[in-house]
Structure 1
Amino acid sequence: MRAAARWLRKRLGRRGQWLLLWGLAWVFWGHGVVAAPLPDERPFRLLLQAAPLNCWAWVWIGAGIICAGCSLLRPPWDWPGFIVALLPPLGWAMSYFVAGAVGDYERGLYAGLLWLTLAAAVLQSSRTREHSVPHSRKTGGR
Protein backbone atom coordinates (compact mmCIF):
# COMPACT_ATOMS: atom_id res chain seq x y z
CA MET A 1 0.00 0.00 0.00
CA ARG A 2 2.80 2.42 0.88
CA ALA A 3 4.64 1.59 -2.31
CA ALA A 4 1.53 2.35 -4.35
CA ALA A 5 1.00 5.65 -2.53
CA ARG A 6 4.65 6.59 -3.05
CA TRP A 7 4.42 5.71 -6.74
CA LEU A 8 1.25 7.79 -7.13
CA ARG A 9 2.76 10.77 -5.32
CA LYS A 10 5.85 10.61 -7.47
CA ARG A 11 3.81 10.16 -10.65
CA LEU A 12 1.46 13.05 -9.89
CA GLY A 13 3.99 15.52 -8.59
CA ARG A 14 3.00 18.43 -6.40
CA ARG A 15 0.65 20.08 -8.90
CA GLY A 16 -0.96 16.79 -9.83
CA GLN A 17 -1.68 16.05 -6.19
CA TRP A 18 -3.56 19.33 -5.94
CA LEU A 19 -5.51 18.59 -9.11
CA LEU A 20 -6.43 15.14 -7.87
CA LEU A 21 -7.65 16.58 -4.56
CA TRP A 22 -9.72 19.26 -6.30
CA GLY A 23 -11.07 16.63 -8.67
CA LEU A 24 -12.13 14.34 -5.86
CA ALA A 25 -13.70 17.24 -3.93
CA TRP A 26 -15.72 18.34 -6.94
CA VAL A 27 -16.88 14.79 -7.73
CA PHE A 28 -17.95 14.30 -4.11
CA TRP A 29 -19.76 17.67 -4.03
CA GLY A 30 -21.58 16.95 -7.29
CA HIS A 31 -22.51 13.46 -6.16
CA GLY A 32 -23.86 14.89 -2.92
CA VAL A 33 -26.10 17.29 -4.81
CA VAL A 34 -27.34 14.46 -7.07
CA ALA A 35 -27.92 12.05 -4.16
CA ALA A 36 -29.50 14.54 -1.76
CA PRO A 37 -30.64 17.72 -3.52
CA LEU A 38 -30.04 20.95 -1.68
CA PRO A 39 -33.04 21.86 0.49
CA ASP A 40 -33.05 25.53 -0.52
CA GLU A 41 -32.78 26.44 -4.20
CA ARG A 42 -33.17 30.21 -3.66
CA PRO A 43 -29.41 30.88 -3.98
CA PHE A 44 -29.34 29.15 -7.35
CA ARG A 45 -32.10 31.01 -9.21
CA LEU A 46 -29.50 32.53 -11.51
CA LEU A 47 -28.08 29.11 -12.39
CA LEU A 48 -31.52 27.52 -12.58
CA GLN A 49 -32.43 29.85 -15.44
CA ALA A 50 -29.89 27.96 -17.56
CA ALA A 51 -30.33 24.39 -16.30
CA PRO A 52 -31.82 22.35 -13.43
CA LEU A 53 -29.75 21.89 -10.29
CA ASN A 54 -29.20 18.22 -11.18
CA CYS A 55 -27.41 19.32 -14.36
CA TRP A 56 -25.20 21.67 -12.36
CA ALA A 57 -24.31 18.78 -10.08
CA TRP A 58 -23.14 16.88 -13.15
CA VAL A 59 -21.07 19.91 -14.14
CA TRP A 60 -19.27 19.56 -10.79
CA ILE A 61 -18.76 15.84 -11.38
CA GLY A 62 -17.50 16.40 -14.91
CA ALA A 63 -15.12 19.11 -13.74
CA GLY A 64 -13.82 16.74 -11.07
CA ILE A 65 -13.19 13.99 -13.59
CA ILE A 66 -11.35 16.40 -15.89
CA CYS A 67 -9.24 17.64 -12.96
CA ALA A 68 -8.37 14.10 -11.98
CA GLY A 69 -7.43 13.30 -15.58
CA CYS A 70 -5.26 16.41 -15.86
CA SER A 71 -3.52 15.46 -12.62
CA LEU A 72 -1.65 12.81 -14.61
CA LEU A 73 -0.27 15.40 -17.03
CA ARG A 74 3.07 17.10 -16.48
CA PRO A 75 3.34 20.88 -16.24
CA PRO A 76 2.68 22.96 -18.24
CA TRP A 77 0.17 20.61 -19.89
CA ASP A 78 -1.89 20.35 -16.69
CA TRP A 79 -3.20 23.94 -16.87
CA PRO A 80 -6.64 22.98 -18.28
CA GLY A 81 -7.30 21.09 -15.05
CA PHE A 82 -6.77 24.21 -12.97
CA ILE A 83 -9.04 26.27 -15.26
CA VAL A 84 -11.77 23.62 -15.00
CA ALA A 85 -11.27 23.41 -11.21
CA LEU A 86 -11.82 27.15 -10.97
CA LEU A 87 -15.09 27.40 -12.92
CA PRO A 88 -17.63 25.59 -10.68
CA PRO A 89 -16.82 27.47 -7.46
CA LEU A 90 -16.82 30.78 -9.37
CA GLY A 91 -20.26 29.96 -10.77
CA TRP A 92 -21.53 28.99 -7.35
CA ALA A 93 -20.06 32.20 -5.82
CA MET A 94 -21.65 34.36 -8.51
CA SER A 95 -25.03 32.75 -7.95
CA TYR A 96 -24.82 33.29 -4.17
CA PHE A 97 -23.71 36.91 -4.61
CA VAL A 98 -26.61 37.66 -6.96
CA ALA A 99 -29.10 35.94 -4.63
CA GLY A 100 -27.78 38.00 -1.72
CA ALA A 101 -27.83 41.25 -3.70
CA VAL A 102 -31.44 40.87 -4.85
CA GLY A 103 -32.61 39.74 -1.42
CA ASP A 104 -33.49 36.15 -2.32
CA TYR A 105 -30.99 34.70 0.12
CA GLU A 106 -29.86 36.58 3.21
CA ARG A 107 -26.63 34.62 3.62
CA GLY A 108 -25.73 34.98 -0.05
CA LEU A 109 -22.80 37.31 0.57
CA TYR A 110 -21.21 34.98 3.11
CA ALA A 111 -21.75 31.84 1.07
CA GLY A 112 -20.44 33.65 -2.01
CA LEU A 113 -17.31 34.63 -0.09
CA LEU A 114 -16.83 31.01 0.96
CA TRP A 115 -16.95 29.80 -2.65
CA LEU A 116 -14.74 32.70 -3.74
CA THR A 117 -12.22 31.63 -1.10
CA LEU A 118 -12.24 28.11 -2.54
CA ALA A 119 -11.66 29.58 -6.00
CA ALA A 120 -8.71 31.53 -4.57
CA ALA A 121 -7.36 28.28 -3.10
CA VAL A 122 -7.56 26.68 -6.55
CA LEU A 123 -5.64 29.65 -7.99
CA GLN A 124 -3.02 29.41 -5.26
CA SER A 125 -2.59 25.68 -5.83
CA SER A 126 -2.10 26.34 -9.54
CA ARG A 127 0.95 28.40 -8.62
CA THR A 128 2.60 25.43 -6.93
CA ARG A 129 6.00 24.75 -8.40
CA GLU A 130 6.86 21.21 -9.28
CA HIS A 131 10.37 21.40 -7.87
CA SER A 132 11.14 21.95 -4.25
CA VAL A 133 13.76 24.17 -2.72
CA PRO A 134 16.97 22.18 -2.33
CA HIS A 135 18.07 21.42 1.18
CA SER A 136 21.13 23.25 2.35
CA ARG A 137 24.13 21.09 3.02
CA LYS A 138 25.07 20.91 6.63
CA THR A 139 28.60 21.95 7.24
CA GLY A 140 30.35 21.08 10.38
CA GLY A 141 33.02 19.03 11.98
CA ARG A 142 31.01 15.86 12.47
Structure 2
Amino acid sequence: MKAVLLRRIQRHLGRRGVFLLILGVGKTCWGASFLFNPPDGAGLQLLTGMCGLRQWAWLWIVCGLTTLVSAFLRIGRDRWGYVAALIPPTVWAVAYLAAVITGDYSRGLWVAIWYLTSHVGVIMWAATVPEHSVPPAPRRARKSEGA
Protein backbone atom coordinates (compact mmCIF):
# COMPACT_ATOMS: atom_id res chain seq x y z
CA MET A 1 0.00 0.00 0.00
CA LYS A 2 2.75 2.44 1.01
CA ALA A 3 4.89 1.51 -1.98
CA VAL A 4 1.99 2.08 -4.37
CA LEU A 5 1.28 5.49 -2.83
CA LEU A 6 4.95 6.50 -3.00
CA ARG A 7 5.20 5.42 -6.64
CA ARG A 8 2.05 7.37 -7.47
CA ILE A 9 3.43 10.51 -5.78
CA GLN A 10 6.78 10.12 -7.54
CA ARG A 11 5.06 9.65 -10.90
CA HIS A 12 2.97 12.78 -10.27
CA LEU A 13 5.99 14.84 -9.23
CA GLY A 14 8.34 13.69 -11.98
CA ARG A 15 12.04 14.55 -11.94
CA ARG A 16 11.49 18.31 -11.76
CA GLY A 17 8.97 17.99 -8.95
CA VAL A 18 11.19 15.73 -6.88
CA PHE A 19 14.02 18.26 -7.25
CA LEU A 20 11.73 21.10 -6.16
CA LEU A 21 10.44 19.05 -3.24
CA ILE A 22 13.97 18.37 -2.01
CA LEU A 23 14.95 22.03 -2.42
CA GLY A 24 11.79 23.21 -0.70
CA VAL A 25 12.30 21.01 2.34
CA GLY A 26 15.97 21.99 2.54
CA LYS A 27 15.37 25.74 2.28
CA THR A 28 12.54 25.61 4.80
CA CYS A 29 14.72 23.70 7.27
CA TRP A 30 17.66 26.08 6.69
CA GLY A 31 15.36 29.01 7.46
CA ALA A 32 14.06 27.29 10.58
CA SER A 33 17.63 26.87 11.78
CA PHE A 34 18.01 30.67 11.68
CA LEU A 35 14.89 30.98 13.84
CA PHE A 36 15.83 28.44 16.47
CA ASN A 37 19.60 28.84 16.58
CA PRO A 38 20.80 31.84 14.56
CA PRO A 39 24.52 31.97 13.69
CA ASP A 40 26.71 34.93 14.59
CA GLY A 41 26.06 36.61 11.22
CA ALA A 42 29.70 36.88 10.13
CA GLY A 43 29.76 38.23 6.58
CA LEU A 44 26.07 39.10 6.59
CA GLN A 45 26.40 42.71 7.76
CA LEU A 46 24.54 43.94 4.67
CA LEU A 47 21.53 41.90 5.77
CA THR A 48 21.79 42.35 9.53
CA GLY A 49 22.03 46.11 8.99
CA MET A 50 18.42 45.97 7.74
CA CYS A 51 17.02 43.48 10.25
CA GLY A 52 18.06 40.48 12.33
CA LEU A 53 18.81 36.99 11.04
CA ARG A 54 15.60 35.73 12.64
CA GLN A 55 13.67 38.00 10.27
CA TRP A 56 15.80 36.91 7.31
CA ALA A 57 14.95 33.34 8.25
CA TRP A 58 11.47 33.99 6.95
CA LEU A 59 12.88 34.66 3.47
CA TRP A 60 14.27 31.11 3.44
CA ILE A 61 11.08 29.65 4.92
CA VAL A 62 8.63 31.42 2.59
CA CYS A 63 10.77 30.70 -0.48
CA GLY A 64 11.24 27.11 0.69
CA LEU A 65 7.51 26.56 1.13
CA THR A 66 6.81 28.18 -2.26
CA THR A 67 9.37 25.85 -3.82
CA LEU A 68 7.86 22.85 -2.03
CA VAL A 69 4.31 23.66 -3.15
CA SER A 70 5.50 24.26 -6.72
CA ALA A 71 6.77 20.67 -6.80
CA PHE A 72 3.17 19.53 -7.14
CA LEU A 73 2.33 21.85 -10.05
CA ARG A 74 2.44 20.99 -13.73
CA ILE A 75 5.60 21.62 -15.72
CA GLY A 76 5.54 25.21 -16.84
CA ARG A 77 3.63 26.31 -13.77
CA ASP A 78 6.48 25.07 -11.57
CA ARG A 79 8.73 27.95 -12.70
CA TRP A 80 7.78 30.01 -9.64
CA GLY A 81 9.29 27.28 -7.51
CA TYR A 82 12.59 27.71 -9.30
CA VAL A 83 12.38 31.50 -8.97
CA ALA A 84 11.62 31.19 -5.26
CA ALA A 85 14.48 28.71 -4.84
CA LEU A 86 16.91 31.20 -6.40
CA ILE A 87 16.08 34.16 -4.16
CA PRO A 88 17.65 33.23 -0.78
CA PRO A 89 21.02 31.95 -2.05
CA THR A 90 21.30 34.92 -4.39
CA VAL A 91 20.63 37.34 -1.51
CA TRP A 92 23.18 35.54 0.66
CA ALA A 93 25.79 35.53 -2.12
CA VAL A 94 25.34 39.29 -2.63
CA ALA A 95 25.69 39.86 1.12
CA TYR A 96 28.90 37.85 1.28
CA LEU A 97 30.32 39.64 -1.78
CA ALA A 98 29.50 42.98 -0.16
CA ALA A 99 31.32 41.84 2.99
CA VAL A 100 34.41 41.04 0.91
CA ILE A 101 34.31 44.40 -0.87
CA THR A 102 33.96 46.32 2.41
CA GLY A 103 36.67 44.23 4.05
CA ASP A 104 34.33 42.90 6.76
CA TYR A 105 34.67 39.21 5.91
CA SER A 106 37.50 38.00 3.67
CA ARG A 107 36.19 34.42 3.67
CA GLY A 108 32.97 35.73 2.11
CA LEU A 109 34.34 35.41 -1.42
CA TRP A 110 34.51 31.63 -1.10
CA VAL A 111 31.11 31.40 0.56
CA ALA A 112 29.60 33.58 -2.18
CA ILE A 113 31.13 31.37 -4.89
CA TRP A 114 29.75 28.33 -3.07
CA TYR A 115 26.23 29.81 -3.02
CA LEU A 116 26.50 30.90 -6.66
CA THR A 117 27.67 27.49 -7.90
CA SER A 118 26.15 24.81 -5.68
CA HIS A 119 22.88 26.67 -5.19
CA VAL A 120 22.15 29.25 -7.87
CA GLY A 121 23.96 27.42 -10.66
CA VAL A 122 22.41 24.05 -9.90
CA ILE A 123 18.91 25.55 -9.62
CA MET A 124 19.30 27.40 -12.92
CA TRP A 125 20.54 24.23 -14.62
CA ALA A 126 17.72 22.12 -13.16
CA ALA A 127 15.14 24.64 -14.30
CA THR A 128 16.18 23.98 -17.91
CA VAL A 129 16.10 20.19 -17.70
CA PRO A 130 13.01 18.83 -19.42
CA GLU A 131 10.90 16.32 -17.54
CA HIS A 132 11.50 13.62 -20.15
CA SER A 133 14.74 14.18 -22.02
CA VAL A 134 15.09 10.59 -23.20
CA PRO A 135 13.34 9.97 -26.52
CA PRO A 136 10.67 7.27 -26.47
CA ALA A 137 11.67 3.80 -27.58
CA PRO A 138 11.09 3.18 -31.28
CA ARG A 139 7.85 1.46 -32.13
CA ARG A 140 8.20 -2.14 -33.17
CA ALA A 141 7.27 -2.80 -36.79
CA ARG A 142 4.09 -4.72 -37.32
CA LYS A 143 4.09 -7.79 -39.54
CA SER A 144 2.08 -5.94 -42.17
CA GLU A 145 4.72 -3.17 -42.35
CA GLY A 146 7.23 -5.28 -44.21
CA ALA A 147 8.51 -7.59 -41.49
Output the TM-score relative to the length of structure 2.
0.87
Cα shift at 1:54 = 0.5
Q: Deviations over 1:51-82 (max 9, x none)?
A: 21111111101111000111111111111110
Aligned partners of 1:20 and 1:68 also within 8 Å: yes
Letter in 2 for 1:78: D
Q: Once structures 1 and 2 are overlaid, which stretch shifts more, 67-76 or 42-51?
A: 42-51
**Is 2:11 the partner of 1:10?**
yes
What's 1:65 paired with?
Answer: 65
- Which letter maps to 2:24? G
Partner amino acid for 2:48?
Answer: L
- For 2:47, the equivalent position in structure 1 comes to 47
The 2-side partners of 1:134 and 1:42 are apart by 48
Paired letter, 2:102:
V
Alignment RMSD? 1.7
- CA contact 1:100–1:108 (8 Å) conserved in 2: yes
Mapped partners of 2:57, 2:103: distance in 1: 24
Q: Normalising by structure 1, what TM-score?
A: 0.90
Deviation above 2 Å: which 4+ runs of structure 1?
Answer: 134-137
Alignment of 1:19 with 2:20, yes or no, is yes
- Structure 2 CA distance, aligned partners of 1:132 and 1:109? 35
User: Which residue is 2:114 aligned to?
Assistant: 114
| Residues 71-110 of structure 1: CA deviation (Å, up to 9, x unaligned) | 1111111111100100100000000111112111120100
Q: Which one has the largest radius of gyration?
A: 2
Which amino acid in the other structure matches residue 52 of structure 1? G
User: Shift in Å at residue 47 of structure 1?
Assistant: 1.1
Task: Give the number of equivalent residue pairs.
Answer: 138
Which residue in the other structure is 1:92 paired with?
A: 92
Equivalent position SS for 2:44: helix
Query: What's 2:80 paired with?
Result: 80
User: How far apart are 1:113 and its partner, in Å?
Assistant: 0.5
